[in-house]
C-alpha cells in the first residue's frame, strides 16, 4: 500500500497536482512509520526524491538523499548508500553545482560498480558522462565502460526475452498436444 501511495503521489506530481501528491506522500509515510522496514522506507524516500526533483525542490531532494544514506549506514548497505549519493548528486546537478554533483555521482557510481549492480551503475554513469562532457572533461574510460555495460545489459535483455519466448512456445506446444 505504501508503494501504491508513493506511485499515486508521483503521478499526481506529474499532473501538476502537488497538494494532492503531498497528501498521498504523507499517507504513505504514516503507513511506513508503522513498520521498522528500512528498505521500504528507503524505497519511499527514493520516490520522495524523484517527486522533489520533478517539482524542482532542491532541499527536499537533499533531505531524502541524506535520510537514505542514514538508512544505509544503519543497515550497512552499500546499495542504499549509492542511491543516497545519486539522489544528492542529481539535486546538485539540477541546482547547477557541477563540482558537488560530480563528487556525489562518482561516489554512487563507484558503489554500484563495486557491488556489480550493472543497471544502477549504467544509470548513474549516464548522468556522470553527460556532466563530464558538458564540462569538457576527459571521459574516455567512462565512455568505454558505458559502452561495455550497455552492450552487456542489452545482450542479457535479449537472452532473457529469447528464453521467455522459448518457454511460451513450449507451453503452447504442450497445450496443443494435450488438446490433440
- pLDDT tens for each residue of 24-77: 888 988 888 787 777 778 878 888 888 888 888 899 899 999 999 998 888 888
Contacts of residues 62-70 at CB distance under 8 Å and 24 or more positions apart, as own/partner, are 62/87, 62/88, 62/91, 65/91, 67/41, 68/42
Residues of the chain with pLDDT under 70: none
Ramachandran bin of 107, using left for φ above 0, alpha for ψ from -120 to 50, beta for the remaining angles: alpha
Residue 121, pLDDT score: 93
Q: 87, 49 in Cβ contact below 8 A?
A: yes
Residue 100, pLDDT score: 93
Residue 119, pLDDT score: 92
Residue 39, pLDDT score: 75
Residue 84, pLDDT score: 94
Backbone angles phi, psi at 139, to 5 degrees: -140, 25
Q: 61, 53 in Cβ contact below 8 A?
A: yes
Task: Name the pTM for this structure.
Answer: 0.76
Q: 61, 88 in Cβ contact below 8 A?
A: yes
Amino acid at each position: 500500500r505504501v508503494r501504491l501511495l508513493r506511485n499515486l503521489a508521483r503521478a499526481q506530481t506529474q499532473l501538476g497536482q502537488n497538494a494532492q501528491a503531498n497528501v498521498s506522500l504523507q499517507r504513505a509515510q504514516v503507513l511506513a512509520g508503522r513498520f521498522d522496514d528500512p528498505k521500504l522506507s528507503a524505497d519511499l524516500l527514493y520516490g520522495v526524491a524523484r517527486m522533489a526533483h520533478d517539482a524542482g525542490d532542491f532541499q527536499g531532494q537533499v533531505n531524502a538523499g541524506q535520510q537514505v544514506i542514514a538508512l544505509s549506514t544503519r543497515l550497512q548497505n552499500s546499495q542504499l548508500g549509492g542511491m543516497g549519493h545519486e539522489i544528492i548528486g542529481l539535486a546538485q546537478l539540477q541546482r547547477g553545482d557541477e563540482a558537488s554533483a560530480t563528487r556525489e555521482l562518482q561516489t554512487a557510481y563507484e558503489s554500484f560498480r563495486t557491488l556489480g549492480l550493472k543497471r544502477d551503475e549504467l544509470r548513474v554513469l549516464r548522468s556522470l558522462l553527460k556532466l563530464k562532457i558538458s564540462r569538457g572533461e576527459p571521459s574516455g574510460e567512462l565512455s568505454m565502460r558505458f559502452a561495455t555495460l550497455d552492450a552487456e545489459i542489452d545482450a542479457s535483455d535479449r537472452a532473457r526475452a529469447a528464453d521467455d519466448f522459448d518457454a511460451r512456445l513450449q507451453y503452447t506446444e504442450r497445450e496443443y498436444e494435450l488438446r490433440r
